[in-house]
Amino acid sequence: MIAQSPFGGTGHFSSRTLLGAAAFGQTTQAETDATLELALSLGVNHVDTAASYGESELRIGSWIRRHGKAFFLATKTGERRKQAARDELHRSLERLGVDQVDLLQLHNLVDPQEWETALGPGGALEAAIAAREEGLVRFIGVTGHGVTVARMHLRALDRFAFDSVLAPFSYVLNGNAEYAADVQALRETCRTRGVAMQTIKSIVKAPWDGRPQTRSTWYEPLEDQADIDLAVHWVLGHSDVFLNTVGDIQVLPRVLAAAARFSPAPAEADLQAMVARQGMLPLFV
């Protein structure tokens, strides 16, 4: 079973591995149901979706209408202005079939100009705060991609008391010394302030770089179970972070299996051997 840990200061104990519902962007309802059932059977109790994830909210909403909301439910808005973000949240609530989500996240907030818009007067953050006051959301978070995201999240935490952050984190990406230092600073700030830190892109093998895309992920993922175990266990070896799964339902069960049998972090030599064997490259440079 996948262990649980306090999700920041929310009072919720979330599974260390969260179900990344980007995987449900183009799946059938039957495929979605089977994946949700597998995740729940392994102890996952936190599902992370977004308004921009294709059919994901509709698929999860169908499950909830038939089975109830048996998990912490997070979604995201990519809008930057208050009214647009409010409208998108209401669409998400309708698609999910719920009156409230546990966590609303400002999605991929990295570009400096978009950051200023979203966190400034009349921005998306005001919509999130108003929604929390209305009882439509319980907590507010921020997410992002790229090598500047950890730095931007630190700025965001100084602007507002977000309940969670989300950023890329993997063994290969951690080889970027500047990014690793930024992530370390973010982790320390999150621990000090009781902010949950979620991570993504744990099993990136390499960018597609024009090669035929054989998975629904926007990067080539690791495929071999032993390698996935190494990559997942490296992330989970950092006890203060949560790992978001993967955006492909064929690979996702392997990530869940790796998380369910997590043991202490793997040896450095094994990780280096994996990188060399697979020709792994960071997704973000």
Per-domain residue ranges for the chain? 4-277
Fold of 4-277: TIM Barrel (3.20.20)
Which residues of the chain register pLDDT less than 50?
Answer: none
Output the pLDDT for position 265: 83
Output the pLDDT for position 263: 87
Contact predicate 103/114, CB 8 Å: no
Output the pLDDT for position 285: 87
Output the pLDDT for position 240: 97
Find the angle CA(166)-CA(50)-CA(128) to the nearest 5 degrees.
75
Output the pLDDT for position 61: 98
Output the pLDDT for position 264: 85
Output the pLDDT for position 157: 98
Report the distance separating Cα 129 and Cα 135, nearest Å. Answer: 10
Contact predicate 71/45, CB 8 Å: yes
Contact predicate 25/57, CB 8 Å: no
Report the distance separating Cα 90 and Cα 131, nearest Å. Answer: 10
Output the pLDDT for position 236: 98
pTM for the full predicted model: 0.97
Reference 114, options 162, 75, 168, 78; nearest CA is 78
Contact predicate 171/140, CB 8 Å: no
* Residue that has been written with the tokens 């109830």 in this structure: 68
Q: What tokens does 110 get?
A: 């990295």
Output the pLDDT for position 159: 97
